Amino acid sequence: MSRLVERHPVWALIAIIAVAILLWLIFAVWPPGLEEAVGRKRVFLNALFNGITLGGLYFLVASGFTLIFGLMRNVNLAHGSLYLFGGYVGYAISTSTGSWLLSFIVAFILTALVGVLLQVIVFRRMEGQDLRQTMVTIGLSIVFADLMLWACGGDFYQIQTPNWLIGPIDLPLITAVKSSGEPVYLRYPLVRLVIFAASVVIGVAMWLALNRTRIGMIIRAGVDDRDILAATGVRIQLVFVLVFAFGAGLAGVAGVVGGTFQSLSPGEDIRFLLASLVVVIVGGMGSIPGAALGALIIGLAEQLGSVYIPTYAIVVTFLIMVLVLAIRPQGLLARR
């Protein structure tokens, strides 16, 4: 950290000032002039929190995608289908058993199994042939989409939020002060906070697993040089299957999350595939911290954009992608 400051003093200063302004915007009571200029603080805080929580969802989808790409160089364009599949499984489980938590577990296991099948039946047969893999997975995603449309119809499904998560809670952030001097606190949907916390936990756990465990070491070695790793006697195909299963399972979990605070319908698969593509392009293909950063940026851009520049909100995401591609084509946190 200190080395970074020494190397880029100007940028570090700008970053510190930006963080300070942001913290002030979050914690201070806004003076009336500012409220008039940019709108109410409640709106800003909500947009900010929504961006961060939406980023949490994007991270869940994109981290599996980027993990698979990082290790195996497989561009799995059927990743969105895994998301939707997980969501439908979660819906079926939560309506039949009434348990929200169980739906996560089942969705994870079933999508992980689909992932294993994909890896064994499809990807292993065309290792190293990027174009073929891409075409085949596009085809598969279309087939999956139609199969799911056939099985579940075009209706939109929503996974019931458990009762203890419904409704808003008051956060200790003051959005305004009433004329009587009584502070008004930010009310925020509890379910989004819980989901965000869960994605942070998963992210940190993944980072720890990759950097502190033996299997993580093997995966990192595989990212750097598969052939040498295989030559050292590691059963590389088994590692591939495990990683693919885990990445797919994460997409399934994300499907349940998405089905809870948004909804599931045909077309969501493409939307989340696109979102995770943008996220990993911005963050850097194959990098978990990159996926986290990219997801945060895209989530914030979507939400702040939809509040402050609603007309152009839809292009903001792609503008960011274009900018990153122009300035740092390998992605913000890619190693090379």
Partner 1 sequence: MSKCSVGLLALSSLFLSGAAIAQDKIKVGVTATLEGTYTVLGEDGMRGHQTALNVLGKKIGNKELEFIVASTDATPDSAVRAVRKLIEQDKVQILLSPLSGDEGIAVKNFAKTHPELTFINAASGAQETTYVDPAPNFFRYNMDGAQWQVGLGKYAYEEKKYRKIATVGEDYSFIYTQVFGLVLEFCGAGGQVTNRQWVPLGTKDFASVIAALPDDVDAIYLGLGGADAVNFLNQYQQAGGKAHLMGGSIMIDQTILSSKGNAKNALIGTIAASGQADTWEDPGWQKFVKAYQDAFPPNKRFPSPSLLATNYYDSTMALILALREVNGDLGDNQSKFKAALAKIELDAPNGKIKLDSNRQAIGTNFVTEVVDDGKGALFSKVVKVIPNVNQTLGYDPAVFSKIGLPSRTVPECKKY
Binding site for partner 1 (CB under 8 A): 39, 42-43, 46-47, 50-51, 53-54, 153-158, 160-161, 166-168, 187-192, 261-263, 265-268, 271, 302-304, 306-307, 310-311, 313-314
Of 245 and 297, which CB lies nearer to partner 1 in the complex structure? 297
- Residue 21: strand pairing partners: none
| H or E stretch at 128 | none
CA angle 173, 176, 179 (to 5 degrees): 140
Between CA 128 and CA 330 the distance in angstroms is 20
Q: CA-to-CA distance for 5 and 152, rounded, in angstroms?
A: 54
Shortest CB 81 distance to partner 1, Å: 15
Separation CA 245–CA 236 (nearest Å)? 14
Smallest gap, in angstroms, from Cβ of residue 287 to partner 1?
25
| Nearest Cα to Cα of residue 35 among 44, 24, 26, 47 | 44
In the complex with partner 1, the residue whose CB is nearer, 157 or 207, is 157
| Least Å from the CB of residue 156 to partner 1 | 4
Q: Which residue has the tokens 């993580």?
A: 216
Instruction: Kindly state the smallest distance separating residue 173's Cβ from partner 1, in Å.
Output: 13
* Phi then psi dihedrals of residue 39, to 5 deg: 100, 180
Shortest Å, Cβ 311 to partner 1: 8
Question: Please, which residue, 39 or 216, has the CB nearer to partner 1?
Answer: 39
Nearest residue to 65 via CA among 264, 312, 249: 249
Q: What angle do CA 10, 12, 14 make, to 5 degrees?
A: 70
For the CB of residue 166, give the shortest distance to partner 1 in the complex, in Å. 7
Helices (H) and strands (E) in the chain, counts: 14, 2
| Residue closer to partner 1 (CB basis): 25 or 313 | 313
CB nearer to partner 1: pick between 98 and 168:
168
Report the residue number, 216 or 267, with the smaller CB distance to partner 1.
267
